[in-house]
Chains A and B, each alone.
Chain A
Amino acid sequence: QDLLVESGGGVVQPGGSLRLSCAASGFTFNTYAIHWVRQTPGKGLEWVAVMPYDGSQRYYTDSVKGRFTISRDNSKKTLYLQLNSLRPEDTAVYYCARDQGYCTTTSCHDVGGWFDLWGQGTLVTVSS
């Protein structure tokens, strides 16, 4: 069974840091791009960042650029999100999600498909 399991959430003061982890099992982790998506309390879903399978081109939403860093260790089948300079508005449940990728007539790409597998989420609370 394909699984993603997040961990590392907690309560942190404004300006603090946390590192989230997303552990994968049941599938070939090093062939998939993985995203971070967050959900603020009582609100909707917001895409945060994506890491291709080979760590090449990473993308971030504007509000976290320069503060958050996405990385992965394929040998450990784990994706990470380093959260620095945290703000109260970063309070959310953070989910990791697998990108199914897509193919054209000439090539296949690991980023740009639908999100077919989601983890259960980890809560980050930024508060003094």
Chain B
Amino acid sequence: EIVMTQSPATLSVSPGERATLSCRASQSVNSKLAWIQQKPGQAPTLLIYGASTRATGIPARFSGSGSGTEFTLTISSLQPEDVAVYYCQQYNNWPPWTFGQGTKVEIK
């Protein structure tokens, strides 16, 4: 089973500032990495797939990078509506499909 580890657990960022979230896989997942956003009280939604491709309707301030075992999600200018928990998920080696434990992004 591939273990996904995210850091930090909580990230406090001022509005308009950059937020950088990290995700590490216990073994290579190539570029088969998705980022999932879950706003408070809501269901998860797809943000990025293929490590760097934004899903339909996702603003350009969200970007993903990385391959192999190290991945980054960047929010270039944090907006109040971006407060959420962000999960990374690998879909390269399955079953099982595995998720990171999440990074909570809050407004400073």
B44 contacts A112, C-beta separation under 8 Å:
no
CA distance A47 to B94 in the complex (A): 10
CB contacts under 8 Å to B, within A16-64, are: 35, 37, 44-47, 50, 59-62
Closest approach, in angstroms, between the C-beta of A64 and any C-beta of chain B? Answer: 11
Count residues on chain B whose CB falls below 8 Å from chain A CBs.
23
Q: Which residue of A lies closest to B100 (CB)?
A: A44
CB contacts under 8 Å to B, within A85-128, are: 95, 97, 100, 112-121
Q: Across the interface, which residues of B come within 8 angstroms of A116, CB to CB?
A: 46, 49, 55
Question: Known contacts being A44-B100, A44-B101, A45-B87, is A118 close to B43, with CB within 8 Å?
Answer: yes
Q: Which residue of A lies closest to B32 (CB)?
A: A114
Question: Known contacts being A44-B101, A45-B99, A95-B44, is A59 close to B34, with CB within 8 Å?
Answer: no
Interface residue? B98 (CB, 8 A): yes
A44 contacts B87, C-beta separation under 8 Å:
yes
Interface residues on A, range: 20 to 34
Q: Across the interface, which residues of A come within 8 angstroms of B44, CB to CB?
A: 37, 45, 95, 97, 118
Closest approach, in angstroms, between the C-beta of B19 and any C-beta of chain A? Answer: 19
CA distance A120 to B42 in the complex (A): 7
Q: Which residue of A lies closest to B6 (CB)?
A: A44
Closest approach, in angstroms, between the C-beta of B34 and any C-beta of chain A? Answer: 4
Q: Across the interface, which residues of A come within 8 angstroms of B97, CB to CB?
A: 35, 47, 50, 115
Q: Across the interface, which residues of B come within 8 angstroms of A112, CB to CB?
A: 91, 94
B34 contacts A114, C-beta separation under 8 Å:
yes
Q: Across the interface, which residues of A come within 8 angstroms of B46, CB to CB?
A: 114-118
CA distance A50 to B55 in the complex (A): 22
Q: Across the interface, which residues of B come within 8 angstroms of A118, CB to CB?
A: 43-46
Closest approach, in angstroms, between the C-beta of A29 and any C-beta of chain B? Answer: 18
| Ranked 7 nearest A-B pairs via Cβ | A114-B49, A59-B95, A47-B97, A45-B99, A114-B34, A120-B43, A44-B101
